[in-house]
Amino acid sequence: MDRGLKNSPPRYKKLRPGDWVEWLIVALLFAVSSVGVYVLTSSALSALSVGALVWLVAIGVVAIL
């Protein structure tokens, strides 16, 4: 193996958070958005759907960072 390639970063990054702090950030965003939508609309289904959407977007953003 070439010495220049030995310490190079991986080419592709995993598309999910790997650190517990990243998971905490995603979970807090999910919880805050779900509770906020539930308080505003009093509908659990819409609160969970918005929370799931926020969860997916947050995972994508944290994975990119």
Which helix or strand (DSSP H or E) is residue 12 part of? none
Nearest to 58 by CA among 37, 28, 18, 13: 28
State pLDDT tens for residues 51-65: 999 999 988 888 787
3-state helix, strand, coil in the chain (%, to 5): 70, 0, 30
* pTM, entire model: 0.70
State pLDDT tens for residues 1-49: 555 566 666 666 665 667 788 888 889 999 999 999 999 999 999 999 9
The pLDDT value recorded for residue 50 is: 95
* DSSP 3-state of 14: coil
The pLDDT value recorded for residue 52 is: 94
HSE of 33, CA atoms in CB hemisphere, 13 A: 19
The sign one gets for the Cα dihedral 30, 32, 38, 41 is negative
